[in-house]
Structure 1
Amino acid sequence: MKILFVHQNFPGQFPNLAPALAARGHQVLALTDEKNQRPSPVPTVRYKTPDAVQVNGLGRSYAGHAERGYLAARGARALRDRHGFTPDLIIGHSGWGETLFLREIWPDARLLIYAELLYRTRGHDVGFDPEFQETTDESRMLAIARSAHLVQGLAQADAAIAPTRYQADSFPPELRGKITVIHDGIDTARVRPNPAARLALPGGPVLRAGDEVLSYVSRSLEPYRGFHIFMRALPAVLAARPQAQVVLVGAEGTSYGNAPKEGGSWKARMLAELGDLDLSRVHFLGRVAYDDYLALIQVARVHCYLTYPFVLSWSLTEAMAAGGYVVASDTEPVRELIRDGENGRLVPFFDVAALSSALVGGLAGDPDAGRLRAAARATILDGYDLHRHSLPRQIEWVESHAPMG
Structure 2
Amino acid sequence: MTKPTIVFAGSVYPGQFGGLCDYLRSNGLADSYFLTTPGYRNKNLHHGPHILGFTPDGKIVGPQSYYYSAKVERSARISRGLLKALKTFETHKKIDVVVTHSLWGAPHFLYDEIDAAIVSYIEFPSYRAHGWDPSYPPDEAQRIGDRNMEMLHFHQALCSDLVICPSHHAKSMFPQALRSNIEVQLEGFDFASDPTPEPADAPRPFTIGFSARDLSSAKGFETYVRLVDQLVARGVEAEFIALGDAEATTYGFEAQWVARHYDGAVASFRDHLLRVYPHAAEKIRFPGKLPYDEFVREISGIDLFLYPLKYGVANWGLVEILGRGGCVIAPDRGYAAELIQDDVNGRLLPDDDAAWIAEILALMDDPARRYRYGTAARQLARQAYSLAAVAPRYMRLFRLAMDNRRARSAG
- 1:384 match: 385
- 2:214 match: 220
- 2:131 match: 125
For residue 13 of structure 1, what is the amino acid of its counterpart? Answer: Q
- Most deviating of 66-75 and 223-232: 66-75
**Alpha-carbon distance between aligned partners in 1 of 2:292 and 2:109, rounded to the nearest angstrom:** 35
**Alpha-carbon distance between aligned partners in 2 of 1:283 and 1:222, rounded to the nearest angstrom:** 16
Task: Note closer, same or farther for the CA distance 1:121–1:282 as it changes in structure 2 (3 Å cut).
Answer: closer
Residue 86 of structure 1 and its aligned partner are, at CA, apart by 4.7
Task: Note closer, same or farther for the CA distance 1:3–1:341 as it changes in structure 2 (3 Å cut).
Answer: closer
- Structure 2: segments with no counterpart, 5+ residues: none
For residue 31 of structure 1, what is the amino acid of its counterpart? Answer: L
For residue 252 of structure 1, what is the amino acid of its counterpart? Answer: A
For residue 107 of structure 2, what is the amino acid of its counterpart? Answer: T
**Alpha-carbon distance between aligned partners in 1 of 2:364 and 2:161, rounded to the nearest angstrom:** 49
Task: Note closer, same or farther for the CA distance 1:29–1:382 as it changes in structure 2 (3 Å cut).
Answer: closer
**Alpha-carbon distance between aligned partners in 1 of 2:315 and 2:355, rounded to the nearest angstrom:** 22
2:111·2:160 contact (CA, 8 Å) conserved in 1? no
Secondary structure in 2 matching 1:361: helix
- 1:288 match: 290
**Alpha-carbon distance between aligned partners in 2 of 1:12 and 1:149, rounded to the nearest angstrom:** 21
Give aligned-pair identity as a percent.
23
Q: 1:32 aligns with which of 17, 36, 52?
A: 36
Residue 6 of structure 1 and its aligned partner are, at CA, apart by 0.8
Aligned residues: 385
Task: Note closer, same or farther for the CA distance 1:278–1:149 as it changes in structure 2 (3 Å cut).
Answer: closer
2:101·2:121 contact (CA, 8 Å) conserved in 1? yes
For residue 330 of structure 2, what is the amino acid of its counterpart? Answer: A
- 1:156 match: 159
Residues 161-200 of structure 1 mapped to structure 2, 5 A cutoff: 161-190=164-193, 197-198=197-198
Q: 1:231 aligns with which of 218, 222, 225?
A: 225
Larger helix percent: 2
- 2:59 match: 50
**Alpha-carbon distance between aligned partners in 2 of 1:325 and 1:115, rounded to the nearest angstrom:** 29
Secondary structure in 2 matching 1:30: strand
- 2:240 match: 246
Residue 133 of structure 1 and its aligned partner are, at CA, apart by 2.1
2:212·2:318 contact (CA, 8 Å) conserved in 1? no
Residues 108-147 of structure 1 mapped to structure 2, 5 A cutoff: 108-119=115-126, 121=128, 124-126=130-132, 129-133=133-137, 141-147=144-150
Task: Note closer, same or farther for the CA distance 1:139–1:287 as it changes in structure 2 (3 Å cut).
Answer: closer
**Alpha-carbon distance between aligned partners in 2 of 1:295 and 1:60, rounded to the nearest angstrom:** 38
Task: Note closer, same or farther for the CA distance 1:206–1:94 as it changes in structure 2 (3 Å cut).
Answer: farther
Q: 2:334 aligns with which of 324, 328, 332?
A: 332
Residue 390 of structure 1 and its aligned partner are, at CA, apart by 0.9
- 1:297 match: 299
Task: Note closer, same or farther for the CA distance 1:98–1:138 as it changes in structure 2 (3 Å cut).
Answer: closer
- 2:321 match: 319
Secondary structure in 1 matching 2:208: strand
Secondary structure in 2 matching 1:184: coil
RMSD: 3.1
Deviations 1:242-261 (A, max 9, x none): 54111221112132223123
Q: 2:81 aligns with which of 47, 65, 71?
A: 71
2:9·2:36 contact (CA, 8 Å) conserved in 1? yes
Task: Note closer, same or farther for the CA distance 1:207–1:130 as it changes in structure 2 (3 Å cut).
Answer: farther
Residue 125 of structure 1 and its aligned partner are, at CA, apart by 1.3
Task: Note closer, same or farther for the CA distance 1:218–1:199 as it changes in structure 2 (3 Å cut).
Answer: farther
TM-score (normalizing by structure 2): 0.82
1:183·1:384 contact (CA, 8 Å) conserved in 2? yes
Secondary structure in 1 matching 2:111: helix
**Alpha-carbon distance between aligned partners in 1 of 2:301 and 2:100, rounded to the nearest angstrom:** 36
For residue 331 of structure 2, what is the amino acid of its counterpart? Answer: S
2:312·2:335 contact (CA, 8 Å) conserved in 1? yes
Residue 197 of structure 1 and its aligned partner are, at CA, apart by 2.5
Deviations 1:138-192 (A, max 9, x none): 766554332111112222211122232222232222222222222212344435x
Task: Note closer, same or farther for the CA distance 1:241–1:370 as it changes in structure 2 (3 Å cut).
Answer: farther
TM-score (normalizing by structure 1): 0.83
Secondary structure in 2 matching 1:283: strand
Residue 240 of structure 1 and its aligned partner are, at CA, apart by 4.1
- 1:98 match: 106
1:309·1:331 contact (CA, 8 Å) conserved in 2? no
Task: Note closer, same or farther for the CA distance 1:367–1:2 as it changes in structure 2 (3 Å cut).
Answer: closer
Task: Note closer, same or farther for the CA distance 1:189–1:29 as it changes in structure 2 (3 Å cut).
Answer: closer
